[in-house]
Amino acid sequence: MNILDGGEGGGQLVRTALALSAVTGEPFRMRHVRRARANPGLQAQHCAAIETVAAVCNAETGGVEVGSESFTFEPGEDIGEDETAEDLVVGGSVSVEVGTAGSVPLVFDALLPVAVALEEPFTARLEGGTDAKWAPPFDYFRHVKLPVVQEHGLDADVTLSRRGFYPRGGGKAELTIEPSTLESIDLTERGDRESLTAYSVAEESMAEDEVAERQAEPAPEDADVEVEYAEADCSGSAFVLAAEYEHSRAGFAELGEMGVDPETVGENAVEAFEAFEDGDAAVDEELADQLLPFVAIAGGEIRASEVTTHLETNITILEEFGYDVSVESDGDTVLLSA
């Protein structure tokens, strides 16, 4: 069993380890889960990710409860002599309640790479936070990350039935992944920008104050703007600025917060977008981190603005599963390659 240290990072280490264990059939134990965080140990969304990925590869788990700093994950051990690890991942479906406003998109992140090992389609129906704190909003997942992996061979489809904002959650979404063959992910140049879309959503009771419209006011003049008011269990809002380039995509997201003007929410995302366009990175920092497991599995190269602590710890987990990811400085950017 692979013994992993989760003490230097957050939930991304859990999600990466789950995906790679399902793909390779290699069991693991993770210790010191999120030890450096203010609320160490597994949280609701991490437990939901473990349950979801376990369902797709018939894994046995241990120590999976909120607050636990150690857990085990063992994909089914019924591989015959002439079978491979991929024979564990047979498809099916699962319904999981993430709990409160635990992030639904982050649970989906753990499941996506498993498509390369599927024999049959697999569907995950989740209830929780679609637009939650400390996680990319649903529109970032739907309009930035998912299109990138789809463009590189991953067959997946997502639907949103109900929004779930922090802190109550209650959102509902469904992800279906199909057996897929990933192509090499080469995202080293942006090329010309082909579109820019601002997605601004708020809970329906906030329409009177035009919260969604005000969030979108700072969007660049050439951006298409999509405003939505959604039924949800509690008030909340989110803003995502999604840029599509000739060779890549990038996204910049902010959640509305009590005491923060809606205009400021939009301004923060726009400032991040403008800083990105002033540089030479091909993808935003969040996307670079989330794409690393796909690059490790399929090969490729990504140009990022810098190597963040998130990236460093994620690379360490990849190496524990035998994947070699190199980091090379190139001017004001870094190249991540496998």
For residue 331, the model assigns a pLDDT of 83
Statement: residue 101 has pLDDT above 60: yes
Same domain, 128 and 231: no
Mean of pLDDT values over 116-127: 95
Any domain includes 249: yes
Indicate the number of domains in the chain. 2
Domain boundary among 226, 258, 275: 275
pLDDT digit string, tens, across residues 248-286: 999 999 999 989 999 999 999 999 999 999 999 999 999
Mean of pLDDT values over 35-47: 90
pLDDT digit string, tens, across residues 157-203: 999 999 999 889 999 999 999 999 999 999 999 999 999 999 999 99
Same domain, 14 and 163: yes
For residue 307, the model assigns a pLDDT of 81
Q: Which residue type, as a one-letter code, is found at position 331? A: G
For residue 79, the model assigns a pLDDT of 45
Same domain, 61 and 160: yes
Same domain, 216 and 154: no
Any domain includes 213: yes
Domain boundary among 229, 260, 275: 275
Compute the distance between CA of residue 201 and CA of residue 236 in angstroms, rounded to an integer: 8
pLDDT digit string, tens, across residues 11-27: 899 999 999 999 999 99
pLDDT digit string, tens, across residues 211-228: 999 999 999 999 999 999
Active site residue 143: no
| Domain CATH for 18 | 3.65.10.20
For residue 77, the model assigns a pLDDT of 55
Q: Annotated binding residue at 289? A: no
Same domain, 92 and 172: yes
Statement: residue 78 has pLDDT above 60: no
Same domain, 165 and 54: yes
Same domain, 76 and 225: no
Statement: residue 117 has pLDDT above 50: yes
Residue 177: domain span: 2-183
pLDDT band at 232 (very low <50, low <70, confident <90, very high): very high
For residue 306, the model assigns a pLDDT of 85
Q: Average per-residue pLDDT in the chain? A: 93
Domain boundary among 156, 183, 210: 183
Statement: residue 330 has pLDDT above 90: no
Statement: residue 321 has pLDDT above 50: yes
| pTM tops 0.85, yes or no | yes
Any domain includes 283: no
